Amino acid sequence: MKNFIFGIHSISEILKMRPQDVREIIVANNRTIKNLEKILNLAKQFHIPILYKEESWFKWARQMNHQGIVAEVRMKKESSLDDILSQLKTQEVSGFFLVLDEITDPHNVGALIRSAACAGVHAVILPKRGGSPLTSAVAKTSSGGMEHVAVIAVANINYALDRLKKEGVWVIGLAAEAEASLYEMPGLQAIALVVGNEEQGLRRLVRENCDQLIKIPMVGGMDSLNASVAGGIALFEVVRQRIKE
């Protein structure tokens, strides 16, 4: 089965990070594409075939906001949680993880992966079943973020949390009903932030498996945030603490 990624940012990043996995690039004729020349130059540098197609060829990808450019790529080699933990132990680095508990909207998953990549997260952990799979829509929304952070699909989120805790990682869940504020979390130590489903939030067993629950203080007229927005705010509170230190 062919695997495609869409859009300028996603294709630019994969060309920078793993050009050997790009099989070919398809470009729409008669369309002005911003920054296209940079992509074409990279493709030529790595001897990647460039095909030109009529606009009608892209109809099948209309929902992906393809921007007139599509690349066929090999799937990225998956990392394991043990691999990441072993690397961090060797490097003597405080781990930073993002855990997605059955988030179903691929755009939320993609946005969270992008935020995680920008925040320097070592791995994003999500379930193999129950949440959004790693589709082309996720890759497109991540704007190349999937090329900069390990994304690990696990059979059981709670087993993954237990594994993290055994390695000294403090597991913190985002929950609107929590008593502790986001600004009280210990961001300097090894940490895993857990973001729950868009509708139900954290599942009961996942919630109980967290070392601490935190909330984002709300001072306006609404009492909740989009999952990707909440996750992004929490990620960058950890960044703020670590930079300040």
- For residues 97, 103, 107, 109, the Cα torsion angle rounded to the nearest 10 degrees is 20
The predicted structure's pLDDT at residue 245: 61
Task: For 162-183, write each residue's pLDDT tens digit.
Answer: 999 999 999 999 998 899 999 9
Q: How far apart are CA 140 and CA 5, in angstroms?
A: 7
**Domain edges within the chain:** 4-73, 81-244
User: How much is the pTM?
Assistant: 0.82
Residue pair 206/110 in contact by the 8 Å Cβ criterion: no
Q: How far apart are CA 214 and CA 211, in angstroms?
A: 10
Mean pLDDT by 10 residues, the chain (245 residues): 82 90 90 81 92 84 77 85 92 94 93 96 94 83 87 95 96 94 93 93 95 91 83 96 82
Where does 4-73 sit in CATH, by number? 3.30.1330.30
CATH match of 81-244 with 3.30.365.10: no
Measured from the Cβ of residue 15, the count of other Cβ atoms closer than 10 Å reads: 24
b/e per residue, 88-116, with b = 16+ CB within 10 A? beeeeebbbbbbbbbbebbbbbbbbbbbb
